[in-house]
Amino acid sequence: MNSPSERQNQPQDVDLLIRPAWIIPIEPAGLTLEAHSLAIKDGLIVALLPDADARQRFRPRQVIDLPGQVLMPGLVNLHTHAAMNLMRGFADDLPLMRWLSERIWPAESRHADAEFVRAGTLLACAEMLRGGITTFNDMYFFPEAAAAAAERIGMRAVLGMIAIEFPTRYAADADDYLSKGLAVRDRHSASPLLNFSLAPHAPYTVADKTFEKIATLAAQLEIPIHLHVHETRHEIEESVRLHGARPIERLRRLGILGPQLIAVHAVHLEPGEIELLAHEGCHIAHCPTSNMKLGSGVPPMAAVQARGLNFGLGTDGAASNNRLDLFQEMRHAALLAKGASQDAEALNAHTVLSAATLGGARALGLDARIGSLLPGKAADLCAVRLDDWLLQPCFDPASHLVYVAGREQVTHTWVDGALAMCNSVPSRIDISELLEVAGLWHTRLTT
């Protein structure tokens, strides 16, 4: 029988040991590690330590060597409408309000049912996993169908309990939307991969009474409020005309501002509004590609960063981007901030990587579980090849991830320690099924 000291020195059993060329843990900030391993057991990160120490300390059931690759936390897509993957390219080259009123809302009134949402979300989840995204924050109708798709493919999701004043196939009015959303949340309360938010669509589609109810629910349930705000100048002008205040001031009066608020887009911010959002502990979901494509504008992200206002990155939906690609968002976010502020040091590579991981997790209230590679957190990870000849030479892996590499270099993703994509192929769904779903809905939307 082994003595206590002998047992203490015996290797610890773990499920998986990953040995990449580099690891970027996000916490501590700005760190890139070489010759380190990550140990995983029961879906959780056990340790991050030098390779030599890992070989002595752990007895892994499986070892995955990733030479030439960087391992980092899975990316967090802080704002999307996943089901709208079925409308990729359906309404291009229009400004926001025409895009909505002339193309998107009419198509949704004809087609957006539970089957549409399940199919579109399944396509979106596969695309996001292929690009290193392991968590998405969704806003759309029929969240029950979105939940089914996310759980089938093994992806972490925060599903919005949408509220809007006009009727759709999903619900009749704002109270009906919220009632149905809360019922879905109750049914999935035990799911390890699903969380929920309150998702009033926008100040121009939600009444004061509904916002007041949402503020009360958010406080009671301790969940985020996921809301489009200050996306266009027209939205702000209409708010002043109808309510006598800019949207953020109206939201302040209604009790919406606070650490629970994820302000999506937040393109047109005055200095005092940045100060107010920071003072209230709000978060911003920055969607640079969608903002550019819809002609909405460029938000003052250098000023947002300087004030210490937390932000994450979002793709928006595939109907307005047209990719669910956070590598593209990281590059665009960094370059736009530098160009708009005329400061080449604004939003450096490590800052943008943190926004795409820990910043999004923090906004969702999930930063104790995901967003960085600290022991005890869930093993939500992605691995990215940096040894492709097109990417050479590589002097700084963090810089390469933001300015050089793309989602096509992502090889593996893990969610809760489970392999969701291996060698660039989804693990839990056949690509032929995805193509069949896309073809079916293309036909329905064009006939």
Written as six digits, the tokens of 242 are 């109808």
pLDDT in tens, 42-71: 999 999 999 999 999 999 999 999 999 999
242-259 burial by CB neighbour count: b if 16+ within 10 A, else e? eeeebbbbbbbebebbee
Q: Are residues 189 and 231 located together in one domain of the fold?
A: yes
pLDDT in tens, 393-420: 999 999 999 999 999 999 999 999 999 9
Determine, yes or no, domain membership for 443: no
Count the residues in the chain: 447
d(CA 253, CA 212) in angstroms, rounded, equals 10
Count CB neighbours of 409 within 10 A.
Answer: 23
Amino acid 7: pLDDT: 54
The answer to whether residue 142 is domain-embedded is: yes
**Cα 189 from Cα 194, distance rounded (Å):** 8
pLDDT recorded at residue 1: 47
Q: Is the pLDDT of residue 9 over 80?
A: no
Of the chain, the percentage scoring pLDDT greater than 70 comes to: 98
Q: What is residue 446's predicted lDDT score, i.e. its pLDDT?
A: 85
End-to-end C-alpha distance for the chain, whole angstroms: 75
Q: What are phi and psi of 286, to 5 degrees?
A: -85, 125
What confidence tens digit (pLDDT) does each residue in 161-218 have? 999 999 999 999 999 999 999 999 999 999 999 999 999 999 999 999 999 999 999 9
Record the tokens describing residue 60, joined without a space: 């892994």
Strands (E) across 51-86 are located at 58-73, 75-80
Domain that holds residue 24: 4-73+379-416
Q: Is 148 exposed, middle or buried (0-12, 13-18, 19+ CB in 10 A)?
A: middle
pLDDT at 103: 87
Q: Are 37 and 176 members of one domain?
A: no
Q: Which residues pair with 75 in a beta bridge?
A: 133
183 and 274 share one domain: yes
Same domain, 63 and 107: no
**Res 3 pLDDT > 60:** no
Give the model confidence (pLDDT) of 271-299 as tens digits.
999 999 999 999 999 999 999 999 999 99
pLDDT band at 447 (very low <50, low <70, confident <90, very high): confident
More reliable by pLDDT, 2 or 350: 350
pLDDT in tens, 250-275: 999 999 999 999 999 999 999 999 99
pLDDT given for residue 109 in this prediction: 86
Q: Is the pLDDT of residue 6 over 60?
A: no
CB burial of residue 406 (10 Å; 0-12, 13-18, 19+): middle
Q: Residue 8: is its pLDDT beyond 80?
A: no
Do both 18 and 160 map to the same domain? no
pLDDT band at 96 (very low <50, low <70, confident <90, very high): confident
Helix, strand, coil percentages (3-state) for the chain, rounded to 5, are 45, 25, 35
Picking from 259, 434, 354, 311, the residue whose alpha carbon sits closest to that of residue 32 is 354
What is the residue type of 418?
A
Neighbour count for residue 36 (Cβ, 10 Å):
23
Same domain, yes or no, for 290 and 385?
no
Task: Specify the number of domains making up the chain.
Answer: 2
Mean pLDDT over each residue of the chain, to the nearest integer: 96
Judge whether 181 lies within some domain: yes
Could you tell me if residue 422 is inside a domain?
A: no
Gyration radius of the chain over CA positions: 22
- DSSP assignment, residue 43? T
- Domain co-membership, 300 together with 203: yes
**pTM of structure:** 0.96
